[in-house]
C-alpha cells in the first residue's frame, strides 16, 4: 500500500505543478487512500522530494536526482551484502557478510517492501518482521528476484 501510494505521489508531481501537501492529500483521497497530513509529510521526506521554483515566484514539489537513483544504489548495497534468505513463520532471516548487515538493512528499509512491520540488524543477520505469512512469502520472493537480477 505504501509503495503504491509513493508511486501515485511521484506520478502526480511529475504530471502536475503541485505546491502543497493538501493537493497531494486530495489526490490520494480521490484514489482511495485515507491518509493524514502527517503521513504525507513522512512520504515527502522518504521520497526526498524538494520544493523548486518555477514561473514567477511559484514553487512545486519535484524529485531530486538522488530519488531516481536511490533504489538502484540500495539494491546494489543489499545484493553485495546478502548471502542467504530464509524464513520462520512471519520473520524473514537474511544472512550477510560479517559487518554488512546494518548497511544491508538500511538499504532494505529504503526499498520499502509492502507488509513489513519492521527490521532489526546485527553484525551479519537481519530479521524482517512481516505483518502476515503471505507478506513473508512476497518479501522473500521479491528479495530473491532482486538478488538474481
At 88-133, the pLDDT tens digits run 999 999 999 999 999 899 888 887 788 899 999 999 999 999 999 9
Q: Which domains does the chain have, with CATH numbers?
A: 2-66 (1.10.10.10), 74-148 (3.30.1360.40)
Tens of pLDDT, residue by residue over 75-99, are 888 899 999 999 999 999 999 999 9
Its pTM stands at: 0.55
What dihedral do alpha carbons 142, 144, 148, 149 form, nearest 10°? 10
Write down the residue that cell numbers 538478488 correspond to. 147
Q: What is the pLDDT of residue 71?
A: 67
Give percent of the chain above pLDDT 70: 95
pLDDT in tens, 7-60: 999 999 999 999 999 999 999 999 999 999 999 998 988 888 888 877 777 888
Position 129 scores a pLDDT of: 96
Q: What per-residue confidence (pLDDT) applies to 69? A: 54
DSSP E strand stretches across the chain: 49-54, 58-63, 82-88, 91-96, 116-121, 125-130
Amino acid at each position: 500500500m505504501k509503495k503504491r501510494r509513493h508511486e501515485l505521489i511521484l506520478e502526480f508531481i511529475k504530471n502536475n505543478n503541485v505546491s502543497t501537501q493538501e493537493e497531494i492529500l486530495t489526490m490520494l483521497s480521490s484514489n482511495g487512500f485515507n491518509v493524514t497530513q502527517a503521513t504525507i509529510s513522512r512520504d515527502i521526506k522518504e521520497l526526498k522530494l524538494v520544493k523548486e521554483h518555477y514561473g514567477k515566484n511559484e514553487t512545486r514539489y519535484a524529485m531530486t536526482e538522488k530519488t531516481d537513483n536511490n533504489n538502484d544504489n540500495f539494491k546494489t548495497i543489499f545484493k553485495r551484502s546478502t548471502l542467504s534468505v530464509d524464513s520462520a513463520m512471519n520473520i524473514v532471516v537474511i544472512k550477510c557478510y560479517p559487518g554488512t548487515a546494518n548497511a544491508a538493512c538500511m538499504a532494505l528499509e529504503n526499498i520499502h517492501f509492502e507488509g513489513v512491520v519492521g527490521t532489526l540488524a546485527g553484525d551479519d543477520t537481519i530479521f524482517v518482521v512481516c505483518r502476515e505469512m503471505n507478506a513473508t512469502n512476497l518479501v522473500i520472493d521479491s528479495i530473491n528476484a532482486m538478488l538474481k537480477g
